Amino acid sequence: MTTFVILSIVLSAAILLAVLWPLWRDARGLVLGGVAALGIATFALYRVVGTPAALSPQATATMPTTLDDAVTQLEAELAKQPNEPEGWRLLGKSYAALQRYDDAQKAFERAVQLLPTDADLLVETAQARLFNNAERKLDAQSMALLDKAIAINPDHQRALWFVGLAQRQEGKHAEAAKTWEPLLAKVDPNTAATLRAQINEARADAGLPPLADTAPAAPADAAPALLTVTVELAPALKDKLAPGDTLFVFARQMGGPPMPVAARRLPVNTFPVTVPLGDGDSPMPTLKLSQLPHVQLVARIAKGSGPAAQTGDLEAAAVTAEVKAGNSYTLTIDRVVP
């Protein structure tokens, strides 16, 4: 049990630091406070489980120093204690952080076998299946997991988000908008603003009018820009612009699913145009721009109504960006999507 507790804390710390690292330069106090709180919680946990001796130098000498080492040791512990659902959950999260999506799916599925009525775990398993799907789609089994999570907790925000995403993938745009609309009253103002944009895109694709914007404006400083993207248009493509074209600028996870972690939709006017991206631009309540060290930046002029690339769209080559306040990147739209 002592080894298992130590590994759980080390892995939790590694994942916590991965999330907090982008804040280091701009909010060192917050990061240090989080790490300090984790240290206090660690000591308290040792006391609760009755193993304060685990704090001794002899016991900590074999503690893992990297996430990979901790994962290896946790795998070994779970081989000895295979009926620890929280261990499998933590292993799944760790695999996902390492982008080992197939292993993450298997770990979460094992955890669900042990805790079949945990709504959060059901949603995490569905998300793992999404990331492990070659087409980045929610399959029938994923939908069954989400439906069960909603039956347990009808207001589960992440479950409802993913159900709407699946409906969009299936072309059921009106149904997706209807699934997402109740979330507007439950999420924070920044997330509500980007969610509203997603809902209105779904409604537009369904031939429905946009929602009336009755939400209060988010504070100006609620979501500072983490990246600044300047989009230029190659002179040779200027004659290909048409009324009704839409500029999409978005950031997506490196090696992850195609859904953006930050996105802006703008009318096509004059170029160059400068677009700030921050956590307030995230269309997903499950992942924010600040949680990633690097992203892939994309700019596309869409001839249709949606952000997915279509023949005849104009686009720029994707650029890898380090997520850090003050960083600026330039994308040049210089090619036509075949």
- pLDDT tens for the chain, 338 residues long, are 444 544 554 455 444 444 333 333 333 333 334 444 344 334 333 433 344 444 455 444 455 566 677 788 888 888 988 998 888 988 888 888 777 889 999 999 999 999 999 999 999 999 999 888 888 888 999 999 999 999 999 989 889 989 998 999 899 999 999 999 998 888 777 677 778 878 888 898 899 988 875 544 444 444 578 899 999 999 999 888 888 788 889 898 887 666 788 888 888 877 888 888 988 787 766 678 888 889 999 999 988 656 677 788 999 999 999 998 888 999 999 999 88
* CB neighbourhood size of 39 (10 A): 12
Residue 233 lies in a domain: yes
In angstroms, rounded to a whole number, what is the distance separating the alpha carbons of residues 13 and 194? 30
Q: How is residue 121 written in tokens?
A: 């775990």
Strands (E), the chain: 225-233, 246-253, 260-267, 273-278, 294-302, 314-316, 319-322, 327-336
Secondary structure letter of residue 189 according to DSSP:
H
Which of 111, 168, 103 minimizes the C-alpha distance to 131?
103
DSSP state string for 284-336: -TT--GGG-SEEEEEEEEESSSSSS--TT-EEE--EEEE--TTEEEEEEEEEE
As a whole number of angstroms, the distance between CA 8 and CA 248 comes to 41
**What residues contact 218, with CB distance under 8 A and at least 6 apart?**
189, 190, 192, 193, 280
Structural domain total, the chain: 2
* Domain enclosing residue 66, as ranges: 2-167
- Let me know: does 5 contact 45? Beta carbons within 8 Å: yes
**Is this model's pTM higher than 0.75 or not?**
no
CATH of the domain at 35: 1.25.40.10
Domain boundary among 136, 167, 198: 167
Q: State how far the Cα of 297 lies from the Cα of 317, in Å rounded to an integer.
A: 9
Residue 210 lies in a domain: no
**What would the two tokens of residue 287 be?**
């992942």
**Structural domain includes residue 28:** yes
The answer to whether position 195 is within a domain reads no
Residue finishing a domain among 130, 148, 167 = 167
Q: The CATH number of the domain where 265 resides is what? A: 2.60.40
Instruction: State how beta strands 314-316 and 327-336 pair.
Output: antiparallel
> Do residues 127 and 238 share a domain?
no
